[in-house]
Structure formats: structure tokens, C-alpha cells
Amino acid sequence: MSSSNQVIFFDTTLRDGEQSPGCTMHHDEKLRMAHQLAALGVDVLEAGFAIASHGDFESVRDIARQVGNSDSAPRITSLARAKREDIEAAAKAVEPAKKSRIHTFLSTSDLHMAAKLKITREQALEQIGEMVALAKTYVDDVEFSPEDATRTDPEFLVKVCEVAIQAGATTLNLPDTVGYCIPQDYAAMFRMVLDRVPGAKDIVLSAHCHDDLGLAVANSIAAVEAGVRQVECAVNGIGERAGNAALEELAALFMVRKDKLPYTNNIVMTEIFKTSQMLTACISFGAAPNKAIVGANAFAHAAGIHQHGVLANPLTYEIMTRESVGYMGQNIVLGKHSGRKALEHRLQELGHTLSREELSVVYERFTDLADRKKLIYDQDILALLTARETAIA
């Protein structure tokens, strides 16, 4: 699989994203987001954690039935601990989908096994083999994740991967559960697995990165360059603690930097902004203004030098167009750093073409207002066209 240049987008907005503080969604919101994620073009949609609650089970099942009901739909998956009851619940929840997957996991770092699970390495290997094999009896597509893989002893990780593949795993995900890795180390782990684990080259390797050190996207890209062909991500980068790798950033990287990242994917880029805005409407917060790709300031220009350049040719300061990600808002923000060109451009958009002398008068009023008012609205600009001082205030 590592020889292919197709990258699978595994979206976990509705699972890892939704279970993080402030991101809980009710049934109808999850279903609406699932339809939009399908329109976005994600390949695998992790709809939830079926065993977590009756509500989560019903959400996964309804998404499988209503969103995963065609051959072109995303593959619908549910998370399951490496426990019989979890796997049985996941299997039942995803059953209505045309294409389904069970994603099961077990912690494999010594820290997690000792402190959380109270099991030995031998017990972990036995449990992994049994539960992956059980999942395989329900679905053809099984993903296994050794939780805390990046802090797992490398020799033991090799054994874990071998057992999972022998038991029937078709995707092997090595998560950076706590966002600890740096890109070169994360890539080296995957190269080791490809080199040392029998059958690793015949399945899909997957990256699931958290952003605790701000490296989730960088680590995911490093993994792809090391042979990984599935990236696990979430819209707006939501997820546990500092979040997951941001879907929109990964997709934009593959679009903009094809010269260095010659990989294909099925993401519909013009659906990016709409998807981000829908998620914002469902949860309790939106993307930060300076968030890459989908933040309010991602395509906004306030400095006069930048505004002049963008108005002359957007490529001077924009490496992608706002239209390419489905954003149709204004990209010129008027304030005290704006120049004459930006003000003239906005006046023309509002239907007013001024002479050089007229523009000079209005620009003087504009800079005076901008020194006293943080946000300049269209009605303020129109008021500047009058000579009356009351219209300027």
C-alpha cells in the first residue's frame, strides 16, 4: 500500500473531536455533520464510540443507515476497545452501512499497561489477537490501534503489529496519543514497522496525531512521506486536549505543495469552509481568527502594503485563493493600517468612483476615524463621503 500515492482521509470529528470539552453534539447535529463530511469527500467517517452510550450507538447506526447507504458513501466506522462487548456493539451499529469498519484499540506502552490496564505484555498480545480476530468475524475491514504507540517499546511494538496483522487487521494505526513525537521520530517508527513487520507492506498504515506540541499536521505529513497512506484528522483540528491534526490543513497542504507532496486524495476543497462553519454552529466555539485555512483572518489583509499587493495580484500574499476553499467573504479589512488603494477599492465596490483629489480628502477623514475606532464598517465609509463633521464621528 505504501507504493500508492493515494492518501485516505479518515475523519474523526464525530468521535475524537466530539468527545472533547465543548464539542459535544446531539443526534441531529451529528447526523447533519455526517452528511456534510460525506459531501466534503472523506473516505472513512468515524461516526462515534458505539458502546459509550445509547445515544452514541443510535447516532452511529443512523449515520450508517442514512449517510453510508450508497457505494460512493464514506466507509462508516465505530471505535471499540479491545473488548467483546465493545466490538459487538460497534458491529451492530455500523451494520446498515454499505461499507463498514470496526476500529479497535488497546494501550501498548508500559506506562499505560501498568497504570491504566493492569496487564502484562503477554496478556496484551493475547487480547489484541483475540479481539482483532473477533472483529474480523463481523466485518472485512478492521483497523487496530496500539494506543500510545509513540511511547511503546519499539521491540514490543513490532510484536503488537505482527499479532494484529496476523489476526486480520487491514489497517494499522500507530497513534501519537499524547502529541509527544517530533516529525523525524514519528516517520522513523513507521519505517521500522514497514521494514520489520511481516505483512506491513500489504495493509494500510495510518497516522493519528495530537497537537499537544503543535506538531500534529507536521507529524502526519512526515508519516505520509514514510509510507503511511491514511491520515486521521478532524475539522478545525478539534479533539482531545489540544486537538487532532486539522483536516483542512492537511488537505490544503496536499493541494498547495504538490511539488513536494505528490499525493492524491478525495477531499472536495470548495466544501472546506462550509464544513468548518457548520461545525462551529454545532459546538460551543469556532476556529481561532488566525487559524490556518478557515480562520476569519486566514484571507484577510489589514496592512496597506499587503492590501496594495493583493489588489494588484492576490498571489503576492496568498498561496491559495479564498474561493479554492469555499470562502466568499471580504479579504480586505479596513483599519488604521490600510492604505489609499484599499479604501479606493472598497469605495468602488460600494459604487463610488472618486477623483484623486476627492480620494485624498476622504482618506484623510478615514485615517482620523481609524485612529479612534477599531472596526470600520461600510456605513462608516459611506459617511466619510459627506463634508459634515457629524458624519465622520
User: Residue 193 has what pLDDT?
Assistant: 98
3: burial class by Cβ within 10 Å (0-12, 13-18, 19+)?
A: exposed
Q: Comparing C-alpha atoms, which of 209, 210, 236 is closest to residue 220?
A: 209
Separation CA 278–CA 292 (nearest Å): 17
Separation CA 34–CA 29 (nearest Å): 8
User: Residue 392 has what pLDDT?
Assistant: 39
Separation CA 52–CA 42 (nearest Å): 24
User: Residue 344 has what pLDDT?
Assistant: 87
Q: Comparing C-alpha atoms, which of 89, 71, 69, 70 is closest to residue 79?
A: 89
Q: What are 93's three cell numbers?
A: 451499529
Separation CA 293–CA 369 (nearest Å): 31
User: Residue 155 has what pLDDT?
Assistant: 98
Separation CA 5–CA 303 (nearest Å): 40
Q: Comparing C-alpha atoms, which of 152, 150, 168 is closest to residue 208?
A: 150
Cβ atoms of 131 and 82 within 8 Å: the answer is yes
User: Residue 309 has what pLDDT?
Assistant: 73
**C-beta neighbour count of 374 within 10 angstroms:** 7
Domains of the chain are: 8-282 (3.20.20.70), 304-392 (no CATH)
User: Residue 390 has what pLDDT?
Assistant: 41
User: Residue 389 has what pLDDT?
Assistant: 39
Q: What's the average pLDDT block by block, 10 residues per block, for the chain (393 residues)? A: 85 96 95 98 98 97 97 97 98 98 98 96 98 98 98 98 98 98 98 98 98 98 98 98 98 97 98 94 90 85 66 77 82 75 81 88 87 78 64 40
Cβ atoms of 68 and 14 within 8 Å: the answer is no
User: Residue 34 has what pLDDT?
Assistant: 98
- DSSP labels, 81-110: ESSHHHHHHHHHHHTTSSSEEEEEEEE-SH
